[in-house]
Amino acid sequence: MGRASAGRVGARQVGSRKGGWGFQLYEVLVVLAILTITAAVGIPRLLDWTRGLRVDLAANELVGVLRRSRSYAVRHSTKVGVKFWPVPGKRVTFGLYRDGDGDGVRTRDIDSGVDLPVGPPQQLAHMGGHVRFGFPPGPAPKDPGDPSRRLDRLDDPIRFNRSDIASFNHLGGSTPGSLYLTDSQSHLSVVRLFGRTGKVKVLRYDPISETWE
């Protein structure tokens, strides 16, 4: 093979390598573009899922607090009440109190020292910051107990009749009521306490269909 022929073959090989590298770079750019688009779509969904998970964890923690309080009332044959102290932007504190004068656990009796605490106040691990007692912005949600009407008193997310104390008696019955939780954006859950049985149930609100599930 002459020098001229060898030179042409070498040029074709170099050109082939250059073309190969160019094609690989194009593939990389396409993959990066796909990843960028996927991230742009996926990250908001991931963040939304994370916020919903935090609300679920907080709701389940409240269920545990209420069940332990009911168990205490039955085990010690007494009336007890759970009182919550939410502070905006901070952890929520709760305390369990034992009835001291036979009229049930009341705020004024707690303040006066008649109803004594059962142990020190405790903090809820999954409440605080963006997860709080309350309702997300937007239209008032439907009432989980009566879907034909919307909730009122959206400034009152802790509802046990007109009190903010969940009370239990020695038979396991309770004050019926609801605890509404939100991530301050779109998620809303309710922890419902049923009076006759003292049982607890968690429901999540779908703002699109306006139903509780």
Tell me the pLDDT tens digit for each residue of 54-109: 999 999 999 999 999 999 999 999 999 999 998 877 889 999 999 999 999 999 99
SS3 state at 129: coil
pLDDT at 153 over 60: yes
| Domain coordinates in residue numbering, the chain | 9-75+125-212
Place of tokens 């009122």: 152
> d(Cα 37, Cα 7) in Å, to the nearest integer?
45
For residues 91 and 124, give the distance between their C-alpha atoms in angstroms, rounded to a whole number: 7
pLDDT of residue 116: 96
pLDDT at residue 169 tops 60: yes
- Segment 116-142, tens digit of pLDDT: 999 999 999 999 878 999 999 999 999
**Tally of CA atoms within 13 A in the half-sphere of 127 that contains its CB:** 26
The mean pLDDT of the chain is 86
9-75+125-212 — its CATH code? 3.55.40
Q: Supply the DSSP string of 101-134, one letter for each residue.
A: SSS---HHHHHHTSSEESS--EE-TT-BTTBEES
List the Cα angle 157/104/171 in 5-degree steps. 95
Per-residue model confidence as pLDDT tens digits over 9-23: 444 444 444 444 455
Rounded-to-integer distance, Cα 120 and Cα 40, Å: 46
Q: How do residues 3-53 score in pLDDT, each as one tens digit?
A: 554 444 444 444 444 444 455 666 666 667 766 666 565 667 777 778 889
- Both tokens of 166, joined, read 């969940």
- Give the pLDDT score at 137: 93
Cα angle 132, 58, 62 (rounded to 5 degrees) comes to 105
Q: What would the pLDDT profile of 185-211 be if each residue is shown by its tens digit?
A: 999 999 999 988 999 999 999 999 999
Amino acid at 22: G
